[in-house]
Amino acid sequence: MIRQDGRIDMPDLYRVGFGLGRKGGVVPKSELSATNAGSMRNIAMNHLRIGDVCVRQGDLPGAMAAYQDAKKMMERLIGLDPKNTEWQRDLSVSHNKIADVLKKKGDLSLAMASYLEAMEICKRLAELDPKNTEWQRDLSVSHERIADVFLQKSDLSLAMASYFEAMEICKRLADLDPTNTEWQRDLSVSHEKIGDVLLKKDDLDGVLASYHEAMAIRKRLTELDPKNTEWQRDLAVSHNKIGDVLLKKDDPDGALASYHEAMVISKRLAELDPTNTEWQRDLSVSHNKIGEVLLKKDDPDKALASYLEAMAICKRLADLDPTNTEWQRDLAVSHHKIGNVLMIKGDLDRAIHNYQQEIAIIEQVFNPFPNQKPFSFHLSIPYGKIGRILLQQGKFAEGQKNTRKAHELAPEMWDWTVDLGHAHLLQGDEKTAYTLYREAVSLAQNESQLETILMMDCQRFINKGWKVTEFQQVMAWFAKECRFNQKP
C-alpha cells in the first residue's frame, strides 16, 4: 500500500478497507442473489469510489478497470430486477464515469458511445416519472456531457442543440422552485456553456448576453449566501469569461475591470484557505489575465509584475507535486509569458533563460509522448523564439541551431521556415535560404502577414548592416515573384 515513491496507494487501501480482496473485486454470478443484492450494490459503489481516487491520482487505466468492474456488477444486479430504478440510475452513473475517462484519454468516439448509453437510461427514467426532479436533472446533465464532446470535436451545431436540450430542463426545474439553489446554479452553467459555443462561432454579442445571464444568477446566489465558496468561485469565473470577451472586442479597459472583479474574489478565497490548490491556481490565472491586458495597453512593466505574481504561485504548486502535469504546464506558460515581456523590453538574455526553462518543463512533462502533435507544436515555439533572439544578437550559428529545431518540431509553421531562411542567408548560404523562403510562401495562408513580417525582418538586418545587398534582393524577390502588394 506504500509505493516506492512514498505515496499511499489509495486504490489498494480502499480495496482492503472495503473488503474487495477478490481479483478485480467482482462477485461471481453464482454468489449473486436477491438476498445479498444490497451488499453487492455497496461493493459496486465502492468500485466507483476507487475509480474516483485513481482519476485524482492520474491513474486512468486503474480508474477504467474499477469503473468497468462497477458497471459489470450493476448489470448483473439489473438482471435480477430490471425494474429497479435505483440500480438503473447507478448503471447510468458508471457509464458516465467510464466516458469521462475515455474523454480524458482523447477517445471521443468511445466516450460518446458511453455517454449515449447513460442518456438512454436517464431518458427512460425521466419518461417513466416526469415529476421526479432528480431524474430530470440527470437527463439535463447527460445532454451537457454529450454537448461537451460535440464542442471538443468542433461540431458546434450539435453542441448547441444538446446544450439547449439541457437548458430547457434546467429552466423548467428553476421555474418549478426558484428557491432551489442547485437548480439555479445548473441554469447558470447552461447559459455559460451556450456562451462558450457562441464564442467558438465568434458571435461576441451573443456570448456576452449568455455570460451576463449566467453572472446575474451567480450574483443572486452569492448575495443569498456570501460564505458559499463554490458560488463565489462561479462568480469569479463569470467575471473572467466576460473579461475575455471584452478583450476580444478590443475593450481592454472593460476587460481589466472584469478581471479585477475576478481577482478580488480569487484573492479572498486563496487567503481563506492557502492549502486549497484550486483556489491558488485561480489566483494565478487572474494575475495572468491582468498581465495580458496590461501588455495590450503597452504597459510591459506592470504586465511583468503581474506575470511574476502568477509565476510565484505556479512555482509553489509545481514544487508541491512535480507529478501534476497541469501545474507543470502552468509554470511553463508563466515562463513563456515572462519571456515575451522581457523580449519586448529588450532584456534578451533573461528572455532566453525563461524560454529555456519552458523547454525543460515541456520536455519533462511530455517526454513519455514525444510523437504527440501538441508536444511538437508547443515545444517549437520557445525554440523558435530563442533562435530569433540569437539571430538579432548576431549569434548566427547558435540561432540557426535553435531555429532548425523549431522547424523540425513544427514544419508546418512558416514563421520558423522564414527564420531558418534568414539564418542561412546571414551565413552566406543563399541557395538554401531561397529554398526555405519558397517553402514559407507555400505554407502561408495569410500572405500579407508573411510579407509584413519578412519585410520587417529584412529591414532590421539591413539597419544592422548585415548582408545589406542580399536582404534588399530578398525584399525585391518577394515583391516581384510572390505578387505581394498587387491590387486585383
Is 359 domain-assigned? no
Cα end-to-end distance, the chain, whole Å: 73
**At residue 336, does pLDDT exceed 80?**
yes
Say which residues have a Cβ less than 8 Å from residue 148's Cβ, sequence separation at least 6. Answer: 103, 159, 193
pLDDT at 31: 54
pLDDT at 482: 62
Residues 488 and 484: their CA atoms lie apart, in Å, by 11
Is 428 domain-assigned? yes
DSSP state of 25: G
Judge if 242 and 330 occupy the same domain: yes
Domain final position from 354, 382, 409: 354
DSSP state of 201: T
pLDDT at 369: 52
Is 122 domain-assigned? yes
Handedness of CA 54, 56, 59, 61 (dihedral sign): positive
Is 6 domain-assigned? yes
**Domain CATH number, residue 402:** 1.25.40.10
Residues 254 and 264: their CA atoms lie apart, in Å, by 16
**At residue 368, does pLDDT exceed 70?**
no
- Side-chain-side CA neighbours of 245 within 13 Å: the count stands at 24
Judge if 150 and 66 occupy the same domain: no
Per residue in 129-155, pLDDT (tens digit) is 999 999 999 999 999 999 999 999 999
pTM, two decimal places: 0.83
**At residue 13, does pLDDT exceed 90?**
no
Judge if 136 and 122 occupy the same domain: no
Long-range contacts of the stretch 231-237 (C-beta < 8 A, 24+) = 231/185, 232/265, 232/268, 232/269, 233/265, 233/266, 233/269, 233/279, 233/282, 234/185, 234/188, 235/265, 236/261, 236/262, 236/265, 236/266, 236/269, 236/282, 236/286, 237/192, 237/262
pLDDT at 447: 75
Is 230 domain-assigned? no
Judge if 102 and 207 occupy the same domain: no
Q: pLDDT band at 15, cuts 50/70/90?
A: very low
Tally DSSP H helices, then E strands, for the chain: 21, 0
**Number of domains the chain contains:** 4
- The residue among 2, 37, 6 whose CA lies nearest residue 16 is 2
Residues 237 and 289: their CA atoms lie apart, in Å, by 12
Residues 259 and 268: their CA atoms lie apart, in Å, by 14
Mean per-residue pLDDT for 158-171? 96
Judge if 1 and 124 occupy the same domain: yes
Q: Which domain holds residue 329?
A: 236-354
pLDDT at 392: 94
Is 113 domain-assigned? yes
Q: pLDDT band at 117, cuts 50/70/90?
A: very high
Phi-psi label, residue 395: left if phi above 0, alpha if psi -120 to 50, beta otherwise:
beta
Per residue in 260-303, pLDDT (tens digit) is 999 999 999 999 999 999 999 999 999 999 999 999 999 999 99
Residues 240 and 247: their CA atoms lie apart, in Å, by 10
SS3 call for 129: coil
Domain final position from 108, 128, 148: 128
Judge if 196 and 258 occupy the same domain: no
- The residue among 153, 154, 148 whose CA lies nearest residue 192 is 148
| Mean of pLDDT over the chain | 90
Domain final position from 331, 354, 377: 354
pLDDT at 28: 53
Judged by average pLDDT, the poorest of 4-18, 148-162, 163-177, 424-438 is 4-18
